[in-house]
Amino acid sequence: MQAKEQICHEDYQKTADWLLSHTKHRPKVAIICGSGLGLLAEMLKCQESFSYSDIPSFPQSTVQGHVGRLVFGELKGKTCVCMQGRFHLYEGYPLCKVTFPVRVFKLVGVETLIVTNAAGSLSDGYKTGDIMIIKDHINLPGFAGQNPLNGPNDEQFGLRFPPMSSAYDKDLHKLALDICKKLDCSVQEGVYCMVGGPNFETVAEARYLHKLGADAVGMSTVPEVLVAKHCGMKVFGLSLITNKVVKAYNDKEVNHEGVLGVSKMRAGTLQTLVTEFVAQLDSNTAD
Ligand code: HPA
């Protein structure tokens, strides 16, 4: 499916041009809101929003808990664009569609990408409700050949063989740590592993992922990060730990409603953190 689908530079450019002609905002920061975390977009002032269905070539979101809007506006005086609802591999999209918005953001002028997601914890030191700064990731679908950078390389975006050893910007990580300290908000720093979903993990898979070195697991984020890093954006990521991944046969099963419930409960803290983070972003990279 993925190999057949090709999007050319012109397609991204057309969508970017459409957005630039429909909004007065010129964001340097893009925020992708994870499951249940879409309220972050409501914080933007002077909003101009577009339903995904109204934006030329944009995919549609099909997941419960995801609205499907692109919201432009200002957060603490910094111009941002928020994706309220993202696209997932498990919805049946090829990864070039999942990551389509990221390249459009690049063409709109975005320099910093903030990604948020809901994730299950594998690390024993994590609690439900914890926030984790993503310090690195494991691209499990990538191990099986599912990578948004597959296919002919578009040199206008980046290198054929981009490095990923510093995918998550160290200065942004440090900024987030400083803000958490100031806000007296405890935070974890860990490795996020992407799985394809849509099922939650078996016990054997959970134990395997933990042994691999993952602290948290989820079904998103990594494709967007790969494409953002490829085209030279700075990336910062946060996971909200919505559940413990089941690692023992007698433990209670995970369900999507529980995941959304925890997201909603902790959305406020995440909003505060992201808002303060954006406020303190270097003016050069954030308007
Ligand atoms: N596994 C995979 N994805 C998830 C989980 C999980 O436990 N929780 C939230 N997203």
Domains of the chain: 9-286 (3.40.50.1580)
Q: Which atom of ligand 1 is nearest to the CA of 218?
A: 3
Give the pairing of strands 45-51 and 69-75. Answer: antiparallel
Does 121 contact ligand 1 (Cβ within 6 A)?
Answer: no
132-185 tens-digit pLDDT: 999 999 999 999 999 999 999 999 999 999 999 999 999 999 999 999 999 999
Q: Is 200 in the pocket of ligand 1 (CB under 6 A)?
A: yes
The secondary structure of 168-226 as a DSSP string is S-HHHHHHHHHHHHHHT---EEEEEEE---SSPPPHHHHHHHHHHT-SEEESSSHHHHH
240 pLDDT band (50/70/90 cuts)? very high
**What is this structure's pTM?**
0.95
Predicted confidence at residue 175, as pLDDT, reads: 97
35 C-alpha to center of ligand 1: Å? 10
Provide the pLDDT for residue 282.
Answer: 83
The residue whose CA has the least distance to atom 7 of ligand 1 is 120
The C-alpha atoms of residue 129 and residue 26 are separated, in whole angstroms, by 34
Residues 183 and 173 sit within 8 Å (Cβ to Cβ): no
| pLDDT at position 1 | 42
Q: What is the mean pLDDT of residues 18-29?
A: 98
> Does ligand 1 come within 6 angstroms of the Cβ of 233?
no
- pLDDT, residue 3, reads 45
Count of C-beta atoms within a 10 Å radius of residue 218: 26
pLDDT in tens, 107-130: 999 999 999 999 999 999 999 999
Q: How far apart are CA 141 and CA 149, in angstroms?
A: 12
Ligand 1 lined by 80 (C-beta under 6 Å): no
pLDDT for the residue 285: 54
Using pLDDT thresholds of 50, 70 and 90, give the confidence band for residue 60: confident
Tell me how far the alpha carbon of residue 90 lies from the centroid of ligand 1, in angstroms.
13
**Cα of 200 to ligand 1 centre, how many Å?**
6
Q: Helical H runs in the chain?
A: 9-22, 95-98, 100-108, 140-143, 170-183, 203-212, 222-230, 256-279
Nearest CA to ligand 1 atom 5: 120
In which band, very low, low, confident or very high, does the pLDDT at 38 lie, cut at 50, 70 and 90? confident
Please work out whether the CB of residue 112 comes within 6 Å of at least one atom of ligand 1: no
Beta pairing partners, 190: 134
Q: How many helices (H) and strands (E) does the chain have?
A: 8, 9
155 membership: H or E segment, kind and range: none
Taking only the tens place, the pLDDT of each residue in 80-110 is 999 999 999 999 999 999 999 999 999 999 9
Query: How does residue 37 score in pLDDT terms, banded at 50, 70 and 90?
Result: confident
Indicate which residues carry an active-site annotation.
35, 66, 88, 90-91, 118, 219-220, 243, 256
